[in-house]
């Protein structure tokens, strides 16, 4: 093979490699590009970006938007300094003052917790869901969502919250371990060996403590502390509901909605209608 043909082959391979790198980088950039949506309300527009690392929620939300599922639905639950919630399919034709919040579609979305990256700071977009008693996996409603308003917290408040979380997590895990080792505990009872039973339970409790200490949901990062102190939010919801986006424009509109008059069920006296559209970029 001549030196010229070798050089030509090298140039071709280099060009192919550069093209591959270019296509790969283009795909990565495309995947990382934020998806923007806008909620049109009777008070103005709220623009949000959807997170790419919660793809199940992002894609479900976009599908519903394309299906016009949110058109003329209401913000049916509004609690000042907490959140505004909407998306109940029954709200489209609900009578004035009727109780809402129980409507949904015939599926749920698996939880996508991304703590401590995404948390319940002011302006966070999160999925509503049914309670732990019927939904221990914390799967999200197919259609209902809320936007966090919340309030500001001090370092003292946040430290107290961490301790409370830690204690709850330890107790919950300890109870789970006792159920898991129910047979062994029963044997200790049957044998009358109370000392061994106490020692065994102490080991289970120590295991529960260790797991709680390693749980990122129990400790606020510096970023979380800064946000909750300076911007505000609802930290008690972290690790319990999937956060899948955030407001980038229109927090003033969110504030207007959270201040409306509501009835005993937290439904606004005057309907706050919505439609949601994808922002073409």
Asked if the model's pLDDT at residue 17 lies above 60, the reply is no
d(CA 261, CA 163): 35
Instruction: List, in order, residues 6 or more apart from 132 with CB less than 8 Å away.
Output: 138
Q: Are 277 and 38 in contact (CB under 8 A)?
A: yes
- For the beta carbon of residue 249, count every other beta carbon within 10 angstroms: 14
Confidence band, pLDDT 50/70/90 cuts, at residue 212: confident
Q: pLDDT by residue (tens digit) across 178-198?
A: 999 999 999 998 998 899 999
DSSP 144: -
First vs last C-alpha separation in the chain: 51
Percent of the chain exceeding pLDDT 90 equals: 82
pLDDT at 9: 53
Reported in sequence order, the residue ranges of the chain that DSSP labels E, i.e. its strands, are 35-41, 44-50, 73-79, 83-86, 108-109, 124-127, 140-141, 145-148, 243-249, 273-278
Q: What is the pLDDT of residues 52-69, one digit of tens each?
A: 999 999 999 999 999 999
**Going from the N-terminus, what domains does the chain have, and what CATH number goes with each?**
34-151+231-278 (2.40.100.10), 156-216 (no CATH)
- In degrees, rounded to 5, the angle at the alpha carbon of residue 228 between the alpha carbons of residues 138 and 118 is 40
**Average pLDDT over every residue of 97-103:** 95
pLDDT the model gives residue 25: 46
CA atoms within 13 A on the CB side of 110: 3
pLDDT, the chain, mean: 90
Closest CA to 137 of 163, 110, 157, 116: 110
Position 109 pLDDT exceeds 50 = yes
- Those residues whose C-beta lies under 8 Å from the C-beta of residue 68, and which sit 6 or more positions away, are 275
**pLDDT, average across residues 120-139:** 97
pLDDT score of 81 more than 90: yes
d(CA 92, CA 98): 12
pLDDT of residue 28: 44
């Amino acid at each position: 093979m001549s030196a010229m043909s070798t050089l030509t082959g090298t140039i071709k391979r280099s060009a192919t490699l550069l093209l591959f790198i270019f296509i790969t980088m283009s795909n990565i950039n495309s995947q990382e590009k934020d998806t923007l949506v806008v909620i049109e309300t009777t008070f103005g527009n709220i623009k949000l970006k959807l997170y790419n690392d919660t793809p199940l929620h992002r894609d479900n939300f976009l599908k519903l938007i394309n299906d016009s599922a949110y058109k003329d639905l209401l913000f049916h639950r509004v609690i000042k300094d907490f959140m505004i919630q909407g998306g109940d399919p029954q709200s489209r034709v609900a009578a004035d003052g009727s109780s809402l919040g129980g409507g949904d579609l015939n599926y749920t979305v698996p939880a996508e917790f991304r703590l401590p990256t995404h948390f319940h700071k002011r302006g966070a977009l999160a999925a509503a869901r049914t309670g732990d008693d019927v939904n221990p996996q914390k799967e999200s409603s197919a259609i209902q969502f809320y936007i966090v308003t919340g309030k500001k917290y001090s370092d003292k408040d946040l430290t107290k919250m961490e301790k409370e979380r830690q204690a709850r997590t330890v107790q919950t895990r300890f109870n789970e371990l006792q159920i898991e080792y129910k047979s062994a505990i029963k044997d200790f009872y049957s044998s009358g060996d109370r000392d061994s039973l106490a020692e065994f339970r102490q080991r289970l409790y120590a295991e529960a403590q260790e797991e709680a200490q390693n749980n990122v949901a129990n400790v606020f990062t510096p970023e979380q502390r800064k946000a909750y102190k300076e911007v505000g939010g609802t930290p008690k919801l972290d690790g319990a509901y999937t956060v899948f986006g955030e407001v980038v424009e229109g927090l003033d509109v969110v504030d207007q909605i959270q201040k409306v008059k509501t009835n005993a069920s937290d439904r606004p006296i005057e309907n706050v209608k919505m439609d949601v559209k994808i922002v073409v970029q």
